[in-house]
Amino acid sequence: MQIEGRNPVYELLNSENPVSIVFMQNDIGQTDKIKQIVSLAKKNGVRLRKIGRHKLDKLSRTKNHQGVIARVRRDFLSLNEILDKLDQEDKIPFFVMISEVLYQQNLGAIIRTAECAGCTGVIIPKKTRINEEAARASMGAVEHVEIIKENLFNAIKILKKKGVPVVGLEADGKRSIYETNLVGPITIIIGGEHSGIGKSLEAKCDLVLKIPLFGKINSLNMSNAAAIALFEKVRQEIV
């Protein structure tokens, strides 16, 4: 996988993920962030290769590399492995599940929000790719939160066996998210931009909640909905 941009590459080098190489523009300005990237690459024994801007542009897939591109091998743990790890560390499961991904930018934004909210993992369908655009939009959060690729129906089955409630978020949910106790272990399902979470997944949820809307538009962008829901849980936990 390729990671592009100064902050995403910096966060990558600060993670435990195995970085194979960092490409850097040969005439790049020595800002604090660039100095930190160089220092971390040397500290971690990562090969640092300086190349011209034209070559970097050709390598870039986001067209917004900011003079730095890194390559990393990414391994994904299973949901069972993550849950076993949480048991060992005596931590409360807090997951966000995404039923469908049409736009990588939204996926990256949700991963960023999930990391900031202290989620233990982001569950996505097995076939969903996380590309450079998602990694860039996550601003490095993709390096610090577990990404779990799982069949969603199987994931719900595993979560329920472990006693983790599964809550869907839909515009026509039966109860407001602000009137529901979200404290403790939980998985919040965020639907796709056009189809929501779908009737089949909805039928597997313990609860289906809504975010009250007061305008003429009847839905929120999925990354905005995720931010509201995750931080409502955080608010309830700390009040």
pLDDT of residue 174: 87
Rounded Cα distance between 39 and 36, Å, is 5
Q: Where are the beta strands (DSSP E) in the chain?
A: 2-4, 19-25, 47-51, 68-72, 94-98, 121-124, 147-149, 166-169, 175-176, 186-190, 207-210
Q: Is 127 exposed, middle or buried (0-12, 13-18, 19+ CB in 10 A)?
A: exposed
Structure tokens at 116: 């900031």
- Residue 88 confidence (pLDDT) above 90: yes
pLDDT at 193: 79
- Structure confidence at residue 53 as a pLDDT band (50, 70, 90): very high
Please write the tens of the pLDDT for every residue from 28-40.
Answer: 999 999 999 999 9
Residue with tokens 């329920």: 160
Q: Which residue has the higher pLDDT, 94 or 143?
A: 94
Structure tokens at 160: 């329920």
pLDDT in tens, 104-128: 999 999 999 999 999 999 999 999 9
Evaluate if residue 239 carries a pLDDT over 80. Answer: no
Comparing CA positions, the residue from 73, 74, 72, 62 lying closest to residue 4 is 62
Domains and CATH numbers, the chain: 2-72 (3.30.1330.30), 79-238 (3.40.1280.10)
pLDDT in tens, 155-203: 999 999 999 999 999 988 989 999 999 999 999 999 987 778 989 999 9
Q: What is residue 183's predicted lDDT score, i.e. its pLDDT?
A: 97
Residue 81 has pLDDT above 80, yes or no: yes
pLDDT at 131: 87
pLDDT digits (tens, 9 = 90+) for 92-103: 999 999 999 889
64 pLDDT more than 90: no
| pLDDT for position 186 | 98
The confidence band for 132, taking pLDDT boundaries of 50, 70 and 90, is confident
- Rounded to 10 deg, the angle between the 152-161 and 79-89 helix axes is 30
- Is residue 181 within 8 A of residue 152, CB to CB? The reply is no
Rounded to the nearest 10 degrees, how much is the dihedral formed by the CA atoms of 153, 175, 120, 91? -110
In this prediction, residues 206-227 reach a mean pLDDT of: 92
Proportion of the chain above pLDDT 90, given as a percent: 76
Tell me how far CA of residue 11 lies from CA of 139, 177, 234, in angstroms. 8, 33, 24
| SS3 annotation, 9-40 | HHHHHCCCCCEEEEEEECCCCCCHHHHHHHHH
